[in-house]
Amino acid sequence: MYKTYFGLQENPFNINTDPRYLYPTRATREALDQLTYGIEARKGFILLTGEVGTGKTTLLNSLLESLHSQNVATAFVFNPRLSASQLFDYMIADFGITCKSHSRSHVLFRLNQWLLDRYQAGEHTVLVVDEAQLLSRQALEEIRLLTNLETSTEKLLQIVLAGQPEIEEKLNHRELRQLRQRIVLRAKTLPLTQEETAGYIAERLHIAGCNGEAIFDPTAIEAVHRHARGIPRVTNLLCDQSLMRAFVEQRKPVTAEIVEGVARDSSLDEVDLSTEPLPPQSPDRGRRRRRRLSRVRGASKVRLDRPVQPPPFAVNQVELPLFVYGYGSDGSPFYEQALTIATNERGGLLSMNTPVQPGQRLIITNKQNECSQECVVECLGERLARGVDVAFEFSAPVPHFWRAREPEAHPLSQSEEACA
């Protein structure tokens, strides 16, 4: 709707994985170089990790486009819910390998012969698996066994596993240590810096046909980066909706006010408290704040200067695995695996090794149910051997965040029932 109004030929901020729109940040170039080198050098296993929305699939599509231009045979598995046998069958079909018999021994023999023929012709073969953090251990083990297809000196099949950082934890299980030891190269995608966000927006507008007209005010770009926190997918959402709102209001260029309105409507308008100074507090206000913080510290036995009142929400002293994501003091993102010490509906207490400050915002993921939630660091304990105890609080009670995920039922289709 807004393309003609802004002089564009196509929508620049579609949430898709078009490789034309891959913006070459330093992290992106390094990741793509590592993937390309690992494939050309026949390294076997390569791991690509990155937070949700940081462009992993777009990077993979760019890699696949480059490989196809070089006559590299590829199979791209994008459905991680396949069983181990289904994944193997899908890979064979995507490679275009035909077999007279469907027995596993015959298919493996045919695959090995096909790979040898390509190797002797100097050609490469690549298997790419996206959303690998959702693969079952059995499927990961099936993939590992494929690396046994090799010559005396080199691997016949190059394998790229791509997924969210949780894949790292899954690979740390003892049952998958053989797979973990075979990963030769590790690449990462990262959130955009503020400068990269400006370049990212300008590049996408240029590809979409922008004639050089200023479509976003510089303050609007700053607002986009602040609310999106450098996540390209969220950046696309904010920019697309901001262009739509500017078109409806017949305003050029897009202003920070428009971006703030879109962020507010999209529940992305919370201010990063780590960048704001705390107001001076009276003694009474300080005591009220300490009582409020005790809601999530009640189980930690941390002494305060006044007796702690019973917390208004039930406290559970339990160890739950979390994945913590945030930004360091230098603006660079960090990822950390941690365990809770205590939890309740309003937040919890965990131990961390990465330095954080009161008022800093973090995103935590409960690995048991894959729920993610933003929280605020409320206070810090003393440094212990296990790390620093960090009390955090949600903006509102979130009881479902700590609940175990219920198993999902996956009814078989008629074709799957026939195969079973």
* Residues 179 and 297 grouped into a single domain: no
Judge whether residue 420 has pLDDT over 60: no
Query: What average pLDDT does range 229-238 have in this prediction?
Result: 92
309 and 293 in one domain?
yes
Claim to verify: residue 98 and residue 84 sit in the same structural domain: yes
Average pLDDT over residues 87-103: 85
Structure confidence by residue, pLDDT tens digits, 240-256:
999 999 999 999 999 99
Same domain? For 180 and 46 the reply is: yes
Residue 210 Cα to chain centre, angstroms: 30
Q: Describe the strand order of the beta sheet including 158-163 as a list of residue ranges.
A: 73-77, 125-129, 158-163, 45-49, 183-188
- pLDDT single digits (tens) 314-326: 567 788 888 888 8
Tell me which range, 91-100, 177-186, 215-224, is most confidently predicted by mean pLDDT.
215-224
- 398, 317: one domain: yes
Whole-angstrom distance, CA of residue 386 vs CA of residue 202: 45
Looking at 160, 188, 216, which one is the last position of a domain?
188
Please, which pLDDT band fits residue 418 given cuts at 50, 70 and 90?
A: very low
Average pLDDT, the chain: 81
Within 10 angstroms of residue 280's Cβ, the number of other Cβ atoms is 7
Name, of 76-80, 171-175, 194-198, the range with top average pLDDT.
Answer: 194-198
pLDDT at 314 (0 to 100): 59
Same domain, 302 and 387: yes
Q: Please indicate, yes or no, whether residues 309 and 351 belong to a single structural domain of this protein.
A: yes
- 65 and 206, same structural domain? no
pLDDT digits (tens, 9 = 90+) for 146-160: 888 888 788 999 999
- Give the CATH number, domain containing residue 392: 2.40.10.220
Domain boundary among 265, 294, 314: 265
Which pLDDT belongs to residue 406? 52
Identify whether residues 100 and 201 lie together within a single domain: no
User: What distance in Å separates the CA atoms of residue 371 and residue 47, rounded to the nearest whole number?
Assistant: 24
Q: Domain of 230: which CATH number?
A: 1.10.8
Asked if 46 and 132 sit in the same domain, the reply is yes
Burial class of residue 101 (count of CB atoms within 10 Å of its CB; 0-12, 13-18, 19+): exposed
pLDDT digits (tens, 9 = 90+) for 30-71: 999 999 999 998 988 999 999 988 999 999 999 999 999 998
**In this model, does residue 357 exceed pLDDT 70?**
yes
pLDDT confidence band for 405 (50 / 70 / 90):
low
Buried/exposed 18-57: b ≥16 CB within 10 Å, e otherwise: eeebbbebebbeebbebbeebbeebbbbbbbbbbebbbbb
Same domain, 47 and 156: yes
pLDDT at 381: 80
Closest CA to 131 of 93, 167, 177: 167
Per residue in 71-82, pLDDT (tens digit) is 899 999 988 888
Which of 70-74, 300-304, 365-369 shows the lowest per-residue confidence on average (mean pLDDT)?
Answer: 300-304
Query: Nearest-5° angle of CA 250, CA 254, CA 256?
Result: 125
**Which two tokens mark 90?**
């899908």
Q: Is the pLDDT of residue 298 over 70?
A: no
| Confidence check: pLDDT of 417 > 50 | no
pTM value is 0.63
For residue 346, is pLDDT > 90? no
CATH number of the domain at 132, please. 3.40.50.300
User: Of 265, 295, 328, which marks where a domain is finished?
Assistant: 265
Residue 21 CA to residue 203 CA, distance in Å, equals 8
The C-alpha atoms of residue 232 and residue 190 are separated, in whole angstroms, by 10
**Which DSSP string do the residues of 169-205 spell out, in sequence order?**
HHHTSGGGHHHHHHEEEEEE--PPPHHHHHHHHHHHH
Whether 199 has a pLDDT exceeding 50, the answer reads yes
Look at the chain and report how many structural domains it folds into: 3
pLDDT in tens, 252-277: 999 999 999 998 887 765 444 333 33
Q: Which domain holds residue 331?
A: 283-402
Give, in degrees to the nearest 5, the angle at Cα 189 between 217 and 78. Answer: 110
